[in-house]
Structure 1
Amino acid sequence: MTDQQIIAVVDKAIDEFRGELNDLESAVGMLMIGRHYGWRVILLIHSPVTVRKYSRILGLKNLREALPEVGVLAHRSNAWRLLDDGKNFWKVVRGQIAGVRSTKAETPPR
């Protein structure tokens, strides 16, 4: 999606939202972070249930269509770096491989 399309998704979600504002705020945050980190990192830091909930709030049928697969900042995600050890991405997302999920991001070394 382009930046204009993402803003349109956010504006529509805000206009139509009924419920807890912290859920709306988190959904918008997920989308904005996902623009830079990609949908694979989003799936590593949120449970599938949470991703579905936030996608529903945003009116997105498929998060993968809205975000890049791997964003330009994915390398800063600890969870993404842990996957580089040859772990199966989908097994990690489903919780079949422990010790990979992390919400921490690091600044790259200089």
Structure 2
Amino acid sequence: MSLVDRAVDGFQGELNDLESAIGMLIIGRHYGWRVLLLIHSPATVRKYTKLLGLKNLREALPEVGVLAHRSNAWRLLDDSKNFWKVVRGQIAGIRSSKSETPPR
């Protein structure tokens, strides 16, 4: 929460951007930074990371959070070597912001 407090205290700009950046951070605590990179565009991640005063998401979030398995995009990712290709947009059809309990 100290990271959020610092971001809020020093913020100037559109509050909806700050709100979205904080929301990304909170969701990232549970899903991890890899899932965030699968659901947001690189430009959005850069924007929100800058608003939060971070160099990158890795310094504040787990790589894979305890709820990552609920992310459709994470489950569609067939192997780790394709992760960065999906993030860069070189592989289509995987990005999704949907989360659900996976079938058993």
1:10 aligns to 2:1 (yes or no): no
Equivalent residues, number:
103
For the residues of structure 1 that align with 2:20 and 2:32, how far apart are their CA atoms?
16
Partner of 2:32: 38
Q: Which amino acid aligns with 1:50?
A: T
For the residues of structure 2 that align with 1:31 and 1:62, how far apart are their CA atoms?
11
- Deviation digits for residues 43-77 of structure 1 (CA, Å, limit 9, x no counterpart): 00001110010000000011111100000000000
Q: Indicate which of 25, 42, 63 corresponds to 2:57.
A: 63
SS at the partner of 2:16?
helix
Partner of 1:107: 101
For the residues of structure 2 that align with 1:23 and 1:36, how far apart are their CA atoms?
21
**TM-score, normalisation: structure 2:** 0.95
Partner of 1:89: 83
For the residues of structure 2 that align with 1:80 and 1:65, how far apart are their CA atoms?
21
**TM-score, normalisation: structure 1:** 0.90
Structure 1 unaligned residues grouped into runs of 5+? 1-6
- Deviation digits for residues 23-49 of structure 1 (CA, Å, limit 9, x no counterpart): 000000000000000000000000111
Q: Which amino acid aligns with 1:82?
A: L
After the TM superposition, which segments of 4 or more aligned residues of structure 1 sit over 6 Å from their partners? Answer: none
Q: Percent identity?
A: 83
For the residues of structure 2 that align with 1:59 and 1:9, how far apart are their CA atoms?
8
